[in-house]
Amino acid sequence: MEDPSRYCENMLLCVVSTLAATVVAFYVGLLLAKANPLLLPLCLTLAVYPGFLKMVSANRLWAAQALVYGWALLSTLLVAYYSYTQGMQAGGMIAKGESYVREMFDWIRTGRGAEGDPSLFVLPKIVEVTVFSVATLLTVGFAGLFMGAYLLDYMNFYVGVLLTFAKAEHVLEVALLSWPVYAVLRVVGYVMLGTALSRVSWLLLRERRFRLEDGARRLLVYSLVFIALDFLLKATVANAVYQPLLKAYTTIAP
């Protein structure tokens, strides 16, 4: 079998080949998800990892991030469209999909839940960031990307299902609100964090010593800023802005 990373000698070719592989991986992953839903994020991770690792090993960290952002956006569109057309009946194909939809819909109806309550989300989010960081370091980024694919899949399943409950005159508003700004900042922060830690892990594996280069150090700082903004905005605007608007623009509320 040919080494997929050879297609990433050229950035444009790398992006095109990775996105094409992502589409194939999505549909193959859906078939395999009948056996175990975790196989879908695994397939999606396998589509992006060769190119990502190629960029990280060459110290092209901004290119590695761009590749992951493109992959994440395409994965978002694929999963959201799938859940929009199939509805909750497809929840068994997306790991944690059904339970996350129920959790978010209950929050939209009542305003209660971890989505907008710092006392409920801060500690779990700190644990999540810690697990993500350790997993990324131990696997040169692979487990971090897998965790990212898993998180994105159930969030995007919710987005697609949410759109089916949008009032006819508010579909655009619901589409814009379905991915809140703090969640977008979280994804950006996680990609920066994962890219920086993958570079550190790669150097540790190759040189058998810890080394933090300037580029990775800057990304770590940026990532912490984005993740902190996620915490701050989630605590302040989730219940004040997003919940009442989603309640008004959808047919979820009784």
For the cut 50, the answer to whether the pLDDT of residue 4 exceeds it is no
| Tokens found for residue 95 | 């790991």
CB atoms closer than 10 angstroms to residue 193: 22
pLDDT at 2: 40
Report the distance separating Cα 95 and Cα 22, nearest Å.
18
For the cut 80, the answer to whether the pLDDT of residue 254 exceeds it is no
Question: DSSP assignment of 37-82, as one string?
Answer: TTHHHHHHHHHHHHHHHHHHHTT-HHHHHHHHHHHHHHHHHHHHHH
If pLDDT is split at 50, 70 and 90, which confidence band does 9 have?
low
159: region left, alpha or beta (phi > 0 left; psi from -120 to 50 alpha): alpha
| Chain segment 165-215, per-residue pLDDT in tens | 999 999 999 999 999 999 999 999 999 999 999 999 999 999 888 888 999
Report the distance separating Cα 223 and Cα 211, nearest Å.
18
**Distance, C-alpha 48 to centroid of its chain:** 13
| Chain segment 105-118, per-residue pLDDT in tens | 999 999 999 999 99
Helices (H), the chain: 11-32, 39-57, 61-86, 97-110, 118-139, 142-164, 171-178, 181-207, 214-237, 243-249
Question: What average pLDDT is seen over the chain?
Answer: 93
Report the distance separating Cα 204 and Cα 221, nearest Å.
20
If pLDDT is split at 50, 70 and 90, which confidence band does 12 have?
confident
Question: So where are the chain's domains?
Answer: 4-249
pLDDT higher at 248 or 8 = 248
If pLDDT is split at 50, 70 and 90, which confidence band does 47 have?
very high
pLDDT at 6: 54
If pLDDT is split at 50, 70 and 90, which confidence band does 8 have?
low
pLDDT at 152: 97
If pLDDT is split at 50, 70 and 90, which confidence band does 14 have?
confident
User: Which whole number is the average pLDDT over 72-92?
Assistant: 93
Report the distance separating Cα 161 and Cα 80, nearest Å.
8
| Chain segment 115-169, per-residue pLDDT in tens | 999 999 999 999 999 999 999 999 999 999 999 999 999 999 999 999 999 999 9
Give me the residue label for tokens 């952002």.
69
